[in-house]
Structure 1
């Protein structure tokens, strides 16, 4: 498939530039941290923690972001900050489960009806927004998030923590099961050696 004539081939994002969704990040064990700041675009990923500023979504959010994106697209700015931010958030928010995680961790405060409405809002705003891979502000962030999610060790660690170590009783029963398994293995080895 060739790009349309006159269109910049770098405006189509590669797979490593598209950030994983919030549920994929959660499954990989990424910790979500929020902070209150006036600079909405400052998103960071450090040591397995995704730091996103808190922001409120209400009835005017879609209108505001669409107008800002239109303004950036009409003017020849090198960096299209809002377009890139909405591309990033559109990649991270695909379903209502992604929105659930954002609300649960205090990243988004929503005044809209349901989480389905909120995920649809981000999908509508980000639809048709193209980013240039040469000036994509969140390129390294997206690449680091994708690399973190692809590492199997992070996923295994998250499963262990979520399924086996999330309560003291599960932790105690898991440790007891491991001890029982080791003792059974030792008994089996000793009985084989005594034959």
Structure 2
């Protein structure tokens, strides 16, 4: 674990309450912004599982990323754009986050690392999900394959529990609501299947014009038929 990957003001911060070296590393992964007061009213039965990356992509969600490692856990979703800080996966990632999660599970502390990894596990369900995140620059992997990536996130977050505050449940609810809106899915299909290249745009416009002309001709033909 390289401490110099964190900004200097984070490492030099006052850590009087640090309980363990693992806790020191954990605290350097700054907690995401706390949920709003009305979001705290959710209880366990209302919590939602987020859609997979593939489902989000098919619904037209745009993925953005940043390489600011200090805010690794700060995931934002606004106006159809999901912003996830760049996550680098190497041979030590599983060991590191297993230890961080184990510390949270064994201590009465906010479990924001556990919640973050659970969110990533839910979104990265298959190798295709991992491939999409790598293509969008969200994941940078030094492992063998995208299948290894999806398996890694499943292993890290297996049988993980977490309590209040619930940092990402409102984000999950917003993602599900976006994916369940037909307008967003139709718009994504149109853009992906009919407007993704200049040739498809031209052929789609030509087809629309032909359809309009055919409809107009049909209407004119009906109107010109003499009444008996």
TM norm structure 2: 0.77
Q: Look up the match of 1:141.
A: 171
Which structure's relative contact order is higher, taking Cα pairs within 8 Å and 6+ residues apart?
1
- Per-residue Cα deviation, 1:1-37 (whole angstroms, up to 9, x for no partner): xxxxxxxxx99665x5211110000000000001121
Contact 2:50 2:123 in 1 (8 A): yes
Alignment partner of 2:161: what SS?
coil
Question: Are positions 1:65 and 2:114 aligned together?
Answer: no
Q: Look up the match of 2:159.
A: 128
How far apart, in 2, do the equivalents of 1:12 and 1:118 lie? 28
Contact 2:194 2:201 in 1 (8 A): yes
- Per-residue Cα deviation, 1:139-180 (whole angstroms, up to 9, x for no partner): 110000000000000000000000000001100110010000
Q: Would the alpha carbon gap of residues 159 and 140 (structure 1) be closer, same or farther in structure 2, given more than 3 Å must change? A: same
Contact 1:12 1:130 in 2 (8 A): no
Contact 1:87 1:131 in 2 (8 A): no
Structure with the greater alpha carbon radius of gyration: 2
Q: Look up the match of 1:171.
A: 201
Contact 1:96 1:115 in 2 (8 A): yes
Please state how far the C-alpha of 1:130 moved relative to its aligned partner: 2.1
How far apart, in 1, do the equivalents of 2:44 and 2:167 lie? 15
Write the mapping of 1:93-104 to structure 2, written as runs, cut at 5 A.
93-104=124-135
RMSD, matched Cα: 1.4
Q: Look up the match of 1:159.
A: 189
Across the two proteins, how many residue pairs are aligned to each other?
183
TM norm structure 1: 0.90
Unpaired segments ≥5 residues, structure 2: 1-41
- Selected match of 1:80 from 106, 111, 121: 111
Question: Are positions 1:17 and 2:67 aligned together?
Answer: no
Unpaired segments ≥5 residues, structure 1: 1-9
Runs of 4+, deviation exceeding 4 Å: 10-14
